[in-house]
Structure formats: C-alpha cells, structure tokens
Structure 1
C-alpha cells in the first residue's frame, strides 16, 4: 500500500478522486457531513416509492467520451433527452427559444430562415458582451429578454441580468429550428439504477473507507493528518473566511407526491420566469423512466441563505475567490477540487473531468 488520503466530500469530485487513488494503491478515507454519499446528485425513493432527487433534478449530459466511459464502468445508462417548457403569456413554450417558440408566441408561421431574420430584426447588437443582459439583448432583443430571462434570473440569482457575468446566459442557446432538447450533447443519459447506486459502485473498493455524518472541521481535530487531503467543500470555509464569505446561491426544495396521477406535466421541467416565487417544477418520472401509478414533483425556491449550491458568477466575486486561490498554492498537502472548492459553476461532466485530471496530477506527485 502506498500513501494515505483523506477526501472531504463524497459527491462527484471526492468519489472520483477516491476511486482513482485507491486503484493506484493508496489508502483512502472519504468523509461527508451529510448522512449519505453522492453529494447533490444523491437520489432515493420517497415514502410512496418514487425515485426522486432530493436536491433538485440532475440530468447527465456531456460531449466528452472520456467522461462518459469513465462513469460507464459503474453504471448502465437509460437514454434520456431533457425537454423544458416555459410558462409565458399563458402558454407553455419550448426553452431554449426555437422556431416553435417564436411562431406560437407571436402567431407567426416562419421557416428557419424567417426565424433568423426575425431575431436579427429584434436583437440589440452589442459591441462588447460583458454581462448576461448584454448577451441576451444581443441575441434575442428586449421583448424575449423580458418574457424568458429577466424574471427567471432575478428569482434564481437575486440579481438582475445586468449584474451577472455573460457566462450564465450563455448556457442557454437560441435556435432557429424545431429542436426542443434542452441539451444537444453527444451523450445524454441517466444512470439506469440511479445516481446513488452508481456512487456505491464507485466507492466499492477495499482501499476506500466511507464515513458519513462526519464534519471535516471536527474530524481533523481528532485524527492525525494523512499524507494528503482532497477537499471539495467551500474554499472560503476551509480558510475560515479569512477574506470574508464568498457569495453562494442556495435553494429550498418543496417535494410533493401527487397521488392517482400518472403524469403531472408533459415534460421533465417547466420553468416559471414571471409567475410564482418558485423557478421551476420538475417531475422525476420523466427523468428516471420509472413506472408508477402516481408521481412526484419538486418546486425550487432560490434563496440567499442555506446550503451553498451555486457560486455567484460576478467579477467582484471572482476577485475575492482569487484571494483564496493564492492561499491554495501554500497548501501543498491539500488538493481543492469541485464546484465549491474551485468556485466554478460546473456541470456534472465538468466536475468529472476536472476530478480525473486532479487525480492524475496527484498520482504524478505521490506515485
């Protein structure tokens, strides 16, 4: 056996590094303050027997064959292409905006070329794209911006489009055809047996010890430090908020089981950009393909306080993160990886990719 590692967090980042290091002969203890593995991707059956995602919908998609093949060692897949509708002006319309959206919203009958011409006519060209507002207005103009983006963004982030980096809005493209898939990645699928079962298999190795319900800051005062620590929690917490707390956005999830209803809505997720205090409703059976006589849904209420879910993408927050990033270089025996530790708005596949890379770098150092 080689070195020993403590890995903080049993989500994607921690679990992937744990597996890679264990397979290379290192002894790994992985801890998580929650009572379960899988991080925010954890799934479980509710009291009515419907498979749900307690921390909101997690839909896997990637263009990386390497990422997909790595996870495929631990799960079979159910093909799934996510579709989202937005309730706008009393209609349920496809989002991302496509030809169907434009034609139904404005009572038109445009072909693809006509949609492109329409969008060119309504957009407000920007010489410099600095904010999400710049990007949206440059792409679809003010009316579509108000109908689909501004209200949703205000609820989701507690900020106006003009206060967020352009990368937030860039996650949602605009299409001139009828493609109503939310993602267009090469690989779009859900773990056939669920995320939790996949994580169980990833962590099923004789050199991996899993401890749940364990807080890192308590653990380190009671146990000797290992050869190396891999940390996937909030970076500001690790350094005891030396430069002040980094802003994160949280969510409150309200789950509901709907009895005697086979299908609550026609697609996996419906967005509510301008109605209600929640942002969206997701129905899990669309995602999982589960057959059940009833169904379960979740409403998401963004909030400022609570469990950190999303780093807030603003230039001033990035500057604050860079102060913490300088401290990382001094911590030669700690590797920081994941959405919270790297203060990045990563998708799941991006976390997988960066975790594989982090493990490779660690192995080059530790052997």
Structure 2
C-alpha cells in the first residue's frame, strides 16, 4: 500500500515502522519541526537530556511492546519514584505503608497498616474512592486524609475537575498501596532510552520506505493520494469541529538552570496542596547524568485553548466521552480509509506502552484485511 501517517509521535512512528517492515510505502507529515511528539527530548549545553514536553518514563508488562521498542534503543534501567510534599514531609507517591509511617505517629500508623492489610491484603492497590467506602472508622479517616492531601487539590490543579467528576481509570492510576514498594510503577520492564526518546524514534523511522515532511498539516483531499491514512492528530479538528471542540488539558513548563549538582532528591516531586504548579521535574536523575549544573521544570496545568497552547491530555469525563463518540461514529461511517489512533485520535489517556500496543494491533488488523 501507499500510506500516509499523520504525526511523528510514538503512535505514528510505530505504525510507520511496522508498515514499512511489511513492504508498504510510508509517507509521514508532522506539524512540528521535529519527530517524537510530546516524547521529544534533546541534549542541552550541559550534556543533560531535557524532556521538552514533560517527564516521560517507559514502563510495560507487554513483552511484545518491550521487544519492539528495544529494537531501536538500549535502556538505562531506571525505576521511577515520586515524592509528594504533604504537611511538610516528602512522602512516597502513591501513598503506601512508608508514607503512613512518615506522616502519622507510630501508634496510629501501625493501627492503620494492620487494618489495611487485614481488610485488603498485602501488596494490593486500592483506589482512593473505594477506600473511602470501607466502613471502618480508622480507614475512613485515612481515606479522607489522603483524599484531601493527595488527590483533591492535585486533581483540581491537573484536570480542573474533582476526582468524582473524572473517569475512575484516572483516580485508579494513583491508588493507595499496601506495601513498602516506593516505586511509582511496578511493571516488569521500566527504563529510559539510553540516548533519549528522540534518538529512539529517529532510529525507528530509519527505513528506506519512510519519508517525512515537517511543518506540514493534513489537508482535505489527501485521502485521494493514498490507499490508507493513519491519523494521530485531534479527531475533532479533522472533522472541522462539526460537533464542537473536545476538551483537553495543556501544560506550561518553566525551565531553570542552576549552578549546583542537584536541585532536589529525585526526578519528580509533586506538590498536591502547595503552589500553583503540580510538580517539579529534575531531568538529570533519569539517566543519572554527572554534571555540576542541573535543569528543572515547574509544571503548570492549563486549559487547552486553540491557537495558544498544545493539547496534552484528553479530559476523561462522561460529557467529553459522549462527544468523542459522535466523532468516532462519523469516522466509522464516512472515513473508512482513515484510521484514527493515539491520544488525540482515540481521545484516550494512553501511556506510551499502551499507545504502542494499539498501533501494533492496528497494523496487524489493517494488513490482515487488505
């Protein structure tokens, strides 16, 4: 086939490479002047790898996804840990048994730990909204404390909505964990590409059957030039906002360089209740880079405003999902030669491994049906 892939992010790059490996001719267009989408990173003047659009940590239990990506990179075996500032203490996030012991007096902490393990078991992830329904007085106190100190204000800043107004999959991403594992993810495979995400995707797109045009938008009429189109851009924009704009959250990053080896104790520290930013990222931790300077970013969530900033996160609410379904139905009915995918095309909050898995499956399905 002669294919067009719209977007050179992780989803588009995966589709493009799989299509090319199967003998198809792949043309790619990208609005930005670079590949890798929001995964884009670069080496600064200090030799530090900077994630321009926010911290990205690869993690998966999917061996097919891991093997595919590992064709294009070696890995630094990074295990991601997040701290949150709670009542003046830096505690592990998600909230776990270690977090409880850092916050509460020992007698209260031990009572709460014993009740959690007795009721739910050890090494179990409990969604915060489920914990609030436990019916136990002590656990209700704990749930209300964590809800207020960790979830409520952070969620308001991140999404502009309360936890109850979001899809449960979002609040379930940061549960209460009945273990002492301080890692943010427990997946079998975790890491940072040794040369960065941009180099990974650059390697992925190194194929004689793949060509790329940068600073190029999709235009009506391109459908006639190709056998199939894989569109990773916003689905509502594709249909000229016929049913209205899908809501997104955007991010503003303020970067600072300091003449010191480190700014903070680990890569990411969350500020659920303090300040207007949600977190501070210090990039040198990801690859354990040795430097006398360090670069950090303050991260401020914003509403997406067309023409002013970039789309980052689809808003996972019932109203937004219903609007997306209208576009999906129209795509299925009127655009059979176009497949929509990625965070913007599927209007889903994908982790990188889930986006890759979706792209791999799409190519299998399309090639099986031609």
Give distance in 2, aligned partners of 1:329 and 1:232: 16
Figure out how many residues of one structure are paired with residues of the other and give that number. Answer: 352
Question: Which structure 1 residue ranges, 5 or more long, are not aligned?
Answer: 122-128
Instruction: For residue 167 of structure 1, give the secondary structure of its aligned residue in structure 2.
Output: helix
Could you tell me which residue of structure 1 aligns to residue 313 of structure 2? 310
Q: CA deviation at 1:293?
A: 1.7
- Residues 122-133 of structure 1 mapped to structure 2, 5 A cutoff: none
> Which residue, 322, 340, 346 being the options, matches 1:342?
346
- Residues 281-313 of structure 1 show CA distances to partners (whole Å, capped at 9, x for unaligned) of 011111122222211111110000221110111
- For the 8 Å contact 1:83–1:181, the answer to whether it is kept is yes
RMSD value over aligned CA atoms?
2.1
- For the 8 Å contact 1:99–1:177, the answer to whether it is kept is yes
Instruction: For residue 340 of structure 1, give the secondary structure of its aligned residue in structure 2.
Output: helix
Please, which moves more after superposition, 221-230 or 80-89? 221-230
- For the 8 Å contact 1:81–1:181, the answer to whether it is kept is yes
- For the 8 Å contact 1:248–1:310, the answer to whether it is kept is yes
TM-score, normalised to structure 1's length?
A: 0.91
Could you tell me which residue of structure 1 aligns to residue 225 of structure 2? 225
Could you tell me which residue of structure 2 aligns to residue 249 of structure 1? 249
- For the 8 Å contact 2:2–2:228, the answer to whether it is kept is yes
Instruction: For residue 225 of structure 2, give the secondary structure of its aligned residue in structure 1.
Output: coil
- For the 8 Å contact 2:8–2:30, the answer to whether it is kept is yes
Instruction: For residue 216 of structure 1, give the secondary structure of its aligned residue in structure 2.
Output: coil
TM-score, normalised to structure 2's length?
A: 0.90
Could you tell me which residue of structure 2 aligns to residue 200 of structure 1? 202
- Residues 78-102 of structure 1 show CA distances to partners (whole Å, capped at 9, x for unaligned) of 1010011000111111111111111
Matched, 1:357 2:358: no
Could you tell me which residue of structure 2 aligns to residue 125 of structure 1? none
Could you tell me which residue of structure 2 aligns to residue 212 of structure 1? 214
> Which residue, 7, 32, 38 being the options, matches 2:30?
32
Could you tell me which residue of structure 2 aligns to residue 143 of structure 1? 145
Q: CA deviation at 1:120?
A: 8.1
Give distance in 1, aligned partners of 2:222 and 2:46: 40
Q: CA deviation at 1:28?
A: 0.6
Could you tell me which residue of structure 1 aligns to residue 137 of structure 2? none
Return closer, same or farther for 1:36/1:150 CA change in 2, 3 Å cut-off: same
- Residues 149-298 of structure 1 mapped to structure 2, 5 A cutoff: 149-217=151-219, 220=220, 225-259=225-259, 261-298=260-297
Give distance in 1, aligned partners of 2:99 and 2:185: 16
Could you tell me which residue of structure 1 aligns to residue 101 of structure 2? 103
Return closer, same or farther for 1:284/1:333 CA change in 2, 3 Å cut-off: same
Instruction: For residue 277 of structure 2, give the secondary structure of its aligned residue in structure 1.
Output: coil
Query: After TM superposition, what 4+ stretches of structure 1 lie above 6 angstroms from structure 2?
Result: 110-113
Could you tell me which residue of structure 1 aligns to residue 20 of structure 2? 22
- For the 8 Å contact 1:133–1:162, the answer to whether it is kept is no
Return closer, same or farther for 1:142/1:360 CA change in 2, 3 Å cut-off: same
Give distance in 1, aligned partners of 2:11 and 2:168: 26
Q: CA deviation at 1:177?
A: 2.3
Give distance in 2, aligned partners of 1:81 and 1:110: 30
Return closer, same or farther for 1:41/1:28 CA change in 2, 3 Å cut-off: same
Give distance in 1, aligned partners of 2:130 and 2:170: 9
Instruction: For residue 91 of structure 2, give the secondary structure of its aligned residue in structure 1.
Output: strand
- For the 8 Å contact 2:128–2:172, the answer to whether it is kept is no
Give distance in 1, aligned partners of 2:23 and 2:222: 25
Return closer, same or farther for 1:117/1:24 CA change in 2, 3 Å cut-off: same
Return closer, same or farther for 1:33/1:103 CA change in 2, 3 Å cut-off: same
- For the 8 Å contact 1:133–1:166, the answer to whether it is kept is no
Give distance in 2, aligned partners of 1:133 and 1:113: 19
Return closer, same or farther for 1:264/1:187 CA change in 2, 3 Å cut-off: same
